[in-house]
């Protein structure tokens, strides 16, 4: 990694980052597809589809309440922190995440685009109004009811389930089309449309790098593949970028 050479300077780059479950793995949040990932113990159709919520809301609620409570026990890791440092030297910086945890925000990242929703939020089944609900009583096993309807309705996790449309797609496509540098961190490349964003970046001429534990299924789409735990690899890479930036300022 020492002979790193970006084909342009970071201070004149419009950077778009796309993170996946792998960036939070070193904080102790399970990924989806690794050997001990979430889908080893739960089938996707049982807990992460609108059908599952209609058929067995108790199971879905229990699954998400465990994950919501887990947020209180985990902390951002060096990969989350490295992105905050990178944002401070880039001309423009957009952070898109597939993750539903809040570790980017807690490390100091601003304006994070959560394309698959957020564990901290619940939404009314009827009006779809979303609210942050993380008080002690919001984390119990009982269902939570909204305060937007005259007859309060059950609230569901504000998560984009399989078969639902991701949030903020227009903004995401615009940012990717406009960027010079597109960086993916910790994503297996299986879940679309997120996995297809690298192709859009390619079409519009961006330089594309992925940091992942192992080569992802869409490896061919990237200019550089940096394998290993992101807490180490991304942190090293950002430190080199920051050093180059400081030298260019002298």
Q: How far is the CB of 250 from ligand NAD (least distance, A)?
A: 33
Q: Measured from the CB atom, is 18 or 206 closer to ligand NAD?
A: 18
Q: Which is nearer to ligand NAD, 166 or 175 (CB)?
A: 166
Q: Residue 230 interacts with ligand NAD (CB under 6 A)? A: yes
Residue window 89-128: x/- pattern of binding to ligand NAD, with contact defined by CB under 6 A: ---------xxxx--------------x------------
Catalytic residues: 116
Q: Residue 180, Cβ neighbours under 10 Å: how many?
A: 21
**Interface pattern 4-23 for ligand NAD (x via CB under 6 A):** ----------------xxx-
Per-residue H/E/C for 73-126: CCCCCHHHHHHHHHHHHCCEEEEEECCCCCHHHHHCCCCCEECCEEEEEEEECC
User: Does residue 76 interact with ligand NAD by CB under 6 A?
Assistant: no
The whole-angstrom separation of Cα 63 and Cα 93 is 33
Contact of 165 with 159, CB cutoff 8 Å: no
What is the signed CA dihedral for 136, 28, 49, 127, rounded to 10 degrees?
A: 40
Cα separation, 157 vs 63, whole angstroms: 10
Residues that bind ligand NAD (CB under 6 A): 20-22, 24-26, 29, 31-34, 37-38, 98-101, 116, 186-188, 190-191, 212-214, 216, 229-230
């Amino acid at each position: 990694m020492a002979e790193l050479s970006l084909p342009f300077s970071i201070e004149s780059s419009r950077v778009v980052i796309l993170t996946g479950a792998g960036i939070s793995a070193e904080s102790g949040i399970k990924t989806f597809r690794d050997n001990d990932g979430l889908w080893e113990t739960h089938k996707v159709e049982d807990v992460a589809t609108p059908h599952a919520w209609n058929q067995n809301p108790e199971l879905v609620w229990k699954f998400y309440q465990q994950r919501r409570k887990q947020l209180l026990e985990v902390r951002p890791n060096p990969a989350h922190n490295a992105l905050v440092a990178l944002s401070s030297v880039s001309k423009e910086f957009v952070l898109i995440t597939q993750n539903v945890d809040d570790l980017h925000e807690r490390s100091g990242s601003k304006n994070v685009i959560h394309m698959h929703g957020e564990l901290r939020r619940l939404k009314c089944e009827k009006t779809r109004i979303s609210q942050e609900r993380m008080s002690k009583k919001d984390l119990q096993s009982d269902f939570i009811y909204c305060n937007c309807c005259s007859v309060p309705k059950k609230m569901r996790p504000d998560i984009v389930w399989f078969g639902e449309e991701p949030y903020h797609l227009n903004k995401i496509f615009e940012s990717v089309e406009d960027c010079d540098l597109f960086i993916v961190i910790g994503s297996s490349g299986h879940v679309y449309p997120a996995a297809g964003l690298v192709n859009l970046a390619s079409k519009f001429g961006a330089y594309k790098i992925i940091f992942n534990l192992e080569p992802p299924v869409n490896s061919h789409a990237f200019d550089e593949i940096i394998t290993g735990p992101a807490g180490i690899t991304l942190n090293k890479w950002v430190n080199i970028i920051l050093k180059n930036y400081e030298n260019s300022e002298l």
